[in-house]
A and B are shown apart, each in its own frame.
Chain A
Amino acid sequence: MFQNFRLAMAWVHTWFGLFLGFVLMVVFFFGSLSVFDREIDRWAIPESRFEPQPMPSYDEILKPVFEDMQPSKESVDQMRPRVDGPMPEHFDTPVRWGAYTTHRDPVLGLFAGYRVPNAKNPDELVWGTRTIDPRTGDALPDDQLKIGSRFFYPLHYSLNLHWMDLGYWIVGLAALIMLVALVTGVVMHRKLFRELFTFRPNKSKQRSILDLHNLTGVVALPFHFMFAFTGLVIFAGIYFPVTHTQLEPLHDLHEVVESQETGLPHESAGVPAPTASVDAMVAEAQRRWAARDMAGDVGFLALQHVGDANGYVSIYRAGTDRIALTGEGIHFKASTGEVLREDPPPSAVERIDEFLTGLHLQHFRHWLLRWLYVLGGLAGCACIATGFLFFVEKRKRQHAKRGQIGARVVDAMAVTTVTGMLIATLGMLIANRLLPTNLPARGDWEQYCFWGIWVLAMAHAFWRTAPVARARLAPAWGEQCWAIAVLAVAAVLLNWVTTGDHLLKTLSVGYWPVAGVDLFMLVGAVVAILAARRLKRRARPQPAASGELSGETAHA
């Protein structure tokens, strides 16, 4: 079929890269934003603009909040068909309570799981969540969408497409193709080291685009490879769902055996028992971590079988000092406060798994590395975007001559996923500042704005790429660059007008979450303007492309 191996690899790289590149663009861009998801939350929810807080006292703050919680309406509605008889009005048997925080969270997320009477599967629970100000225990309004951690971050790994978990599968396939694209790309690229630093903006358009594609792909190759790979490792349980299909009985048995080994009861005893001081347990856990010379902030605190004689409290530390996603959990008997179990040191396999997942999920405290991750992610975006541009540049003259629309369609899709995605993102942040604060389901409206604006940007992209069919530059690119610049500045100004937090203020008090988001958008605006002006210069007629392309570009 192909003359040689390299041509075969080029075919795979071109076509698989093209089709899943649109997905990868979304994954890379929102992955980069997710590095600072908690900071974007602060920007979007002005009430939460204060310093990160440690896990508050359970006895004083958390206990009354947990006791006040109830499962969410959605969770109860979902459960309804799986229950014999009517659902109760009030759920009063909590099975699991948990609180989770990181070193970047001012607010604290809580969840509670409740037993449902007459459930067909008695192990299935209904769930409620709440976000509180840990200093007072006051709840934040449910309607406020945490845009960073609850919209951009899930968009990164699931495209927010939850029907049949399709989003996870598409992203998984894209990650697999990413690995393939990296390997085939290296095979195609004949001068990997000799041209490592090569970018020739003054050569032909195809040549300079390909240079940039190679540069951003190769210098961040370890990053691209590790992130695509670890992303797959993290969701291995979804992609190989054996624990809840073929091996379900084994999985259930394993849970029981494991609880016998660990001494942490699998079932509740059915005998009520009061809970001892959890604060004392936290103090004991911190003493034990300190004895092992580890940072001792509590990251995750959970009560299992709440108020039951078999109840236990698990306390995990926030592993801010390591890449590995560790917890060094310590488990206490809830009624007495005695230590039931200390998690043993991980085995070699567990260690590798913790490192790989931790590398991707980044719970560590290291601002430089976080920014370097953003750089790697944006390099990935540049690599994919230049891939699209190269595809179009290489084919548009030929397609124009033959009257085919392929190049135009790809260019329109590229505009949609590159600049259109940025416009949708900025549009969502602007909607977040403009929608009335008392609007019911405000978070849903913000999401509609995001998707609606993206569709509009797509329509514009398809409309204004018509000149590509005549082998010319699409005006859509430049126009959307200007839109990005205007929207980014507007978002920064709206943040000032609606909250009073202008850059001079946030910078002078050093409130980096908000100052950083503002600055990032302003830098984005400057880059967009530079790009738009450059595109205008390029749009002027210029001598036809040269014949100096090397064999490499010819078959890429």
Chain B
Amino acid sequence: MPENIMLSVALILSVAGMGWFALALDTHWKQVCGKQPRGQASSRVLRGLGGAALSLSLILCLKVDHPTMAALVWIMALAGAALIVAFTLSWRPHWLALLAARPPRR
């Protein structure tokens, strides 16, 4: 895979990972999916998904750059991803329903 693509995927994964972490919190789940119960998507599963996505993102960063550089790219990507998730939650929360695989709250 070319480096640009790997880094782009790493960025997308960090946004998704942060999104899953946010959905694992009750307040944000309600913002996105309303009163729908989490069902199987318990907060533990969501946290697991989040952790997996962020780890995969780190692995991709490590494949592209020297470890010292990859670590910085990853940490900064997490910061950017957290900002994106926070602003999406306050502006268009239903977009994150995509990550929950649920119909958005009406």
Contacts and interface: CB of A to CB of B under 8 A. Distances in A.
Q: Do A and B bind each other?
A: yes
Interface of A: 194, 196-201, 215-216, 219-220, 222-223, 321-324, 355, 359, 364, 366, 368-369, 372-373, 375-376, 379
A223 B75 contact: yes
21 contacts: A196-B21, A196-B22, A197-B22, A197-B25, A197-B85, A197-B86, A198-B86, A199-B86, A199-B90, A200-B90, A215-B82, A219-B79, A219-B86, A223-B79, A322-B66, A322-B68, A369-B76, A372-B80, A375-B79, A376-B76, A376-B79
Contacts of B18: 197
A197 B77 CA distance: 15
B18 to A, nearest CB: 8
Contacts of A323: 66, 68-69, 72
7 smallest CB-CB distances across A and B, nearest first, come from A372-B76, A219-B82, A197-B86, A323-B68, A197-B22, A199-B90, A220-B79
B83 interface: yes
Contact of A322 (B69, B76, B86): B69
Nearest to B96: A197
B25 to A, nearest CB: 7
A197 B82 contact: yes
Contacts of B76: 223, 369, 372-373, 375-376
Given A198-B86, A366-B69, A369-B73, 14 more contacts: A197-B18, A197-B22, A197-B28, A197-B89, A198-B89, A216-B83, A219-B78, A219-B79, A223-B76, A366-B73, A369-B76, A372-B79, A373-B76, A375-B80
A192 to B, nearest CB: 12
Contacts of B100: none
Interface of B: 7, 18, 21-22, 25, 27-28, 65-66, 68-69, 72-73, 75-80, 82-83, 85-87, 89-90
A369 B72 contact: yes
Contacts of A364: 69
A369 B66 CA distance: 13
A215 B86 contact: yes
Nearest to A221: B79
A69 B86 CA distance: 56
Majority SS at the chain B contact face: helix
A372 B66 CA distance: 17
Contacts of A324: 68
Contacts of B72: 323, 359, 369
Contacts of A375: 76, 79-80, 83
Given A194-B25, A197-B89, A219-B83, A366 B77 contact: no
A53 B65 CA distance: 24
A322 B21 CA distance: 32
Nearest to B82: A219
A375 B73 CA distance: 12
A135 B89 CA distance: 52
B69 A222 contact: no
Nearest to B18: A197
A200 B28 CA distance: 12
Q: Choose among B22, B77, B80, B89 the residue with the greatest number of A CB atoms under 10 Å from its CB.
A: B80
Nearest to B27: A198
A379 B69 contact: no
Contact of A199 (B25, B78, B87): B87
A366 B85 CA distance: 25
Contacts of B28: 197
A480 B6 CA distance: 41
A215 B87 CA distance: 10
Nearest to A382: B83
Given A223-B76, A375-B79, A369 B69 contact: yes
A368 B75 CA distance: 12
